[in-house]
Structures are given as C-alpha cells and as structure tokens.
Structure 1
Amino acid sequence: MSEPDRYISFCNIDCDNNANLLVSMLEHHLTANHGHAQWHSYFENKRQEQANMQRDNLNFVGNQLNMLYEYFRECEDQNALDLLYQIEQECC
C-alpha cells in the first residue's frame, strides 16, 4: 500500500485524531507551565475563540501552525513538532 496522499484521498489519514492528540500535547505543556507566559495567554484566547466558534481541533491546528511550531520548539518537544509537521503535510 502506498503512502497516504491528501491530493488523491483523505482515506487512511487520521487527521481528526492526530489533531486531537496534538492539542492534548499542547494542553499538557500549558498545564505544566512550559514556555513563556505570553504563550499561555495567547493559546488560552485562541482556544476560547475556537470554542465560541464551535471549530474542531483540526481547524484550530491549521489556523495556528506557525504559532504551534514556535511554541513546541520553545518547549523542545520533538514528538509534537513531528506530529505537527505530519498534520500539516497530510491534512492542511
């Protein structure tokens, strides 16, 4: 079986679950107080906007790609960075 290719089909690409996992990684870092305080207020505001607009986590990740890259780099979380890259390539 070939690698999933979003340009052909989203079949076999678990975008929603990967986005949910990435957001749980984000929440873990924020709860653990990792990174500068400005990130905490930034993501708190963005997560509130997401809830108000009733958007799913994939939408959130797609809209916050650059900020998530910066935050996870600051947290030195290579697993989160790898997952974020995978989501960007496969789902956004």
Structure 2
Amino acid sequence: MPCTAAKTDRYISFDGIDCDAYAERILGYIRACIDDAENPSDWQPYFERKLVEIAGMGQDALFFVGSQVNYIRELFEHYDHDDGLELLDKIEDECC
C-alpha cells in the first residue's frame, strides 16, 4: 500500500480546516491596516464601511473574505502585509 502524506482537501471534507478562524484573522489584519494613519490606502474608507456593514448584518467573516478577496489582496499589497497575503492565499486554496 503506498504511503501518502495526509493533506486536508476541501473537496472531500472541511474537517481539519479552520476556515472561520482564518477569516477572523483576516478581519483583524484588515483592521490593523486601516488603522494605519501614516500610510493611508485608498481602500481604507471602503473597508471601514464594509466592516460596519458586515457587523450590522451579522454576516460571517468567511463569506465576507471570500467575496472581497481581490480588494483585500490590494489592501495587503499596499501595506506589504506578507502574513495577510499568505493567509489569504491559504483561505482561497482551502476554504473558497
């Protein structure tokens, strides 16, 4: 029997993939970026508004991240937020 490395596969099961926690971390990274007044991004007003909207609607973080991937990527690129970009890639690969 061949030996294969255990890898989570979203198409088989979401077991072992903590997508909700990943998405919550992304929201934290977004908040940290938009709080940076010394290096403003054109995306700050957009995300300030969106974070208020999702809180008011009770929208889950994973849905928000999945629907805003390109905008989040641009925000993180502006801030050279490597951890955020890496986690965003992970969410795209494993959760969306």
**Fold match by TM threshold 0.5:** yes
Is this contact kept in 1: 2:43–2:75, CA < 8 A? yes
What is the percentage of aligned positions where both structures have the same residue? 40
Query: What does the per-residue CA deviation read over 1:16-72, in whole Å, with 9 as the maximum and x for residues that have no partner?
Result: 111111111111111123442x31110011112212221011111011100001110
2-structure distance, mates of 1:70, 1:30:
12
Q: Larger radius of gyration, structure 1 or 2?
A: 2
2-structure distance, mates of 1:90, 1:19:
12
Q: Number of aligned residue pairs: give it.
A: 91
2-structure distance, mates of 1:21, 1:35:
21
Match of 1:49 in 2: 53
1:11 partner SS: coil
Computed over aligned residues only, the root mean square deviation of the Cα atoms, in angstroms, reads: 1.3
Please list every run of 5 or more consecutive structure 1 residues that lacks an aligned counterpart in the other structure.
none
2-structure distance, mates of 1:16, 1:35:
28
Which has the larger helix fraction?
1
Q: Does 1:70 align with 2:74?
A: yes
